[in-house]
């Protein structure tokens, strides 16, 4: 009888745990319903260091000897308290004219379509408006001379990379930029901008993600 009570207690405990877990995990439909186009606090401009991407995606169209350095990953609406909206309804596909415009900004159509679907739809600007805003954001950030495409590897600490960007763009505050690494190599630089594309502080959760010490900045292919 004691053994039976123990088994029943374990079953009840397991059922309770499953119920608690389910309660903590909102459904994808609920999460999407909470994302409303135009309702966000600021933008995060993500600039990818293309050579790092190409080390593991050698057959990608982006990696065909074009000598890319930093390329546009995306312009992402963000919440100041952390997190971001995504895939905001109504979801629409890009027209031929919008795709043509987008390919002057993004290195591949696959990335363009993904960024519009996941992030651009939440800008509240419509497709062409979002692409124009991305173009303006790119133009507002000057790439440091030290980080233009080059033919040999360089090594910097993450803070040095952030400082180079801040010197080239004096309006970026200390808490307005984040450097992201892929293992020991530079992956992205992310710059926080207001809806008016003025530099500003990043919201909760946006921070540098690199190891301590030197990180490698691989050369352009």
CA-only gyration radius of the chain, Å: 21
Residue 119 designated active-site = yes
Contacts 24+ apart (CB under 8 A), 96-104: 97/128, 98/127, 98/128, 98/131, 101/128, 101/131, 102/131, 104/135
Which residue in 34, 73, 98, 157 is the catalytic one? 73
Cα 150 → chain centroid: 24
Confirm whether 174 is a catalytic residue.
no
Active site residue 73: yes
Q: Which of 115, 146, 157, 174 is catalytic?
A: 115
Cα→Cα distances 68→60, 198, 200, Å: 13, 26, 27
Long-range pairs of 158-162 with CB within 8 A, sequence gap ≥ 24: 158/208, 158/210, 158/215, 159/208, 161/186, 161/189, 161/215, 161/217, 162/189, 162/208
* Annotated catalytic residue, options 57, 98, 114, 119: 119
Give the number of other Cβ atoms within 10 Å of residue 90's Cβ. 6
Tokens representing 40 are 């966000």
Q: Which are the catalytic amino acids?
A: 73, 115, 119
């Amino acid at each position: 009888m004691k053994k039976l009570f123990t088994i029943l207690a374990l079953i009840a405990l397991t059922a309770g745990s499953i119920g608690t877990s389910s309660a903590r995990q909102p459904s994808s439909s609920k999460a999407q319903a909470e994302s409303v186009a135009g309702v966000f606090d600021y933008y995060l401009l993500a600039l990818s260091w293309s050579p790092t991407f190409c080390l593991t995606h050698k057959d990608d169209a982006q990696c065909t000897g074009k000598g890319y350095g930093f390329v546009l990953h995306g312009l992402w609406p963000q919440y100041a308290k952390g997190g971001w909206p995504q895939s905001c309804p109504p979801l629409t596909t890009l027209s031929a004219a919008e795709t043509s415009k987008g390919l002057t900004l993004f290195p591949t159509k696959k990335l363009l379509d993904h960024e519009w679907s996941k992030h651009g739809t939440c800008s509240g600007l419509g497709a062409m408006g979002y692409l124009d805003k991305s173009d303006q954001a790119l133009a507002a950030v000057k790439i440091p001379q030290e980080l233009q495409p080059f033919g040999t590897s360089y090594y910097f600490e993450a803070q040095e990379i952030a400082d180079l960007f801040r010197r080239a763009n004096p309006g970026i505050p200390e808490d307005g930029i984040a450097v992201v690494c892929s293992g020991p190599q530079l992956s992205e630089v992310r710059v926080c901008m207001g809806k008016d594309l003025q530099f500003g502080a990043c919201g909760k959760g946006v921070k540098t993600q690199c190891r301590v010490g030197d990180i490698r900045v691989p050369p352009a292919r």
